[in-house]
Amino acid sequence: MSTSKQPRTVLVTGATGKQGSACVHYLLHSPEFAYNVLALTRKRDSPAARRLLAREDSSVEAGRLSIVECDLADEEGMRRVFEDARALGGENGWFGVFAVLAYAGLGADAAPEEKHARMLADLSLTFSASAFIYSTTLMPGPNIADVRDNSHRAKYRVEKYCQSLGEHDLNWAILRPGFFMENFDGFLGSMAVSVLNEGMGTNATIALIASDDIGKVAAGVFNDFTKYRHKILCVVAECRTMPQITAAYKDATTKPMPAFSPFLTRLILKFNTASQNVVWQLNRNDQVRSDGTYPEFDEELKLGQEVCALQSFHDWTLNRTTPRTPSPSTAGGGATRDGWNNLSIWKFATGRA
């Protein structure tokens, strides 16, 4: 570990979520630098916050992990959080921010998400953060005029806003994660498998990533931020077709991937606008990667994959079905619960946000 006299202080938003908690873990266990991590959450005593503290108890005892309670909607409160972070870090120790915002849900209003992300970028500039990492999403093409998901449009506008602040010395880096492997978890995962089997072209590939690996990449970017300053990184382990995904699952588990009947799936796709939009976005993303409309993808993918090793879908599935030490994003449960990502079975089935 670095022998730097003063640890780097990093503020992690969404710290009790999958990406955030993984980033917290990998920062605290970085072999390259010492970090003091401020984990932002709306409720200090929430079950997720308690699980985070219990998992990283040695870092808590050493004073290297602190839970910070504040709602992103409280702009004055967030300014005080940044003031405290800078004071704690000191002149050289105040280092950066990992900004990951909760997904509002399929079809939901993303205005608050965009507002909060812009505020975090503004505060990072105001308080001279050495590194501001924004976790967004893999875009379904360079033209978002007809993009159907509000969150995709909001994230794209935030990306452009961060880049504009770069002209005023905001030290930004953008992570564009692919389709979460966790989307195939549990009952909702069975529905996702069914919908994608039915709606994706046979040869269309889905860019896949485990949420734990997003946090791992974020920590790696902090470790070598000079290299990634003003860069966009696609955080994707592999691009696979649905037949390849289901084959990998069976190879890892010896069981077929759970799915609904084709009849029920067709009904969902016929009447569920949200699921139609997900399929459209994934198909379009495959198309722009294949036809050269997204020429930057290969370079952004290379940047994301060189930071650290990423799990294939086969290995991710195998790891989850083989007894082992839980990964940071699954420790304490919750990774397979219905309602993941602010969805519920009823909302998914009816298309309601």
Helix (H, G, I), strand (E, B) or coil at 171: coil
Average pLDDT over residues 72-100: 95
Burial level of 113, CB count in 10 A (0-12/13-18/19+)? buried
Residue 217 is encoded by which pair of tokens? 């990449």
pLDDT band with cut points at 50, 70 and 90 for residue 143:
confident
Average pLDDT over residues 160-186: 97
pLDDT band with cut points at 50, 70 and 90 for residue 353:
very low
Counting residues of the chain whose pLDDT is more than 90, the rounded percentage is: 72
Is the pLDDT at 346 greater than 70? The verdict is no
Q: How far is CA 311 from the centre of its chain?
A: 15
Q: What pLDDT does residue 85 have?
A: 95
Domain annotation covers residue 3: no
Closest CA to 329 of 343, 314, 340, 344: 340
Q: What digits encode the pLDDT tens for the residues 297-310?
A: 999 999 999 999 99
CATH number assigned to the domain comprising residue 186: 3.40.50.720
Is the pLDDT at 172 greater than 50? The verdict is yes
CA angle 77, 80, 82 (to 5 degrees): 115
pTM of the model: 0.91
Q: What pLDDT does residue 94 have?
A: 95
pLDDT band with cut points at 50, 70 and 90 for residue 338:
very low
Domain annotation covers residue 2: no
Q: Give start and end residues of each alpha helix (H) in 224-352.
A: 225-228, 242-253, 262-271, 273-290, 297-307, 313-321, 345-350
CA angle 141, 17, 38 (to 5 degrees): 110
pLDDT band with cut points at 50, 70 and 90 for residue 139:
confident
Give the separation between CA 39 and CA 327, rounded to whole angstroms: 18
User: Are 97 and 10 within 8 A, CB to CB?
Assistant: yes
Domain annotation covers residue 265: yes
User: Are 148 and 281 within 8 A, CB to CB?
Assistant: yes
State which residues form the domain around 212. 8-350
| Main-chain dihedrals φ then ψ at residue 175, nearest 5 degrees | -105, 130
pLDDT band with cut points at 50, 70 and 90 for residue 233:
very high
Domain annotation covers residue 1: no
Q: What pLDDT does residue 340 have?
A: 38
CA-based end-to-end distance of the chain? 46
Domain annotation covers residue 257: yes
Helix (H, G, I), strand (E, B) or coil at 131: strand
Average pLDDT over residues 95-117: 89
Q: What digits encode the pLDDT tens for the residues 18-27?
A: 999 999 999 9
Domain annotation covers residue 67: yes
- The total number of structural domains in the chain stands at 1
What are the distances in angstroms from CA 22 to CA 6, 162, 252?
A: 23, 23, 24
Domain annotation covers residue 73: yes
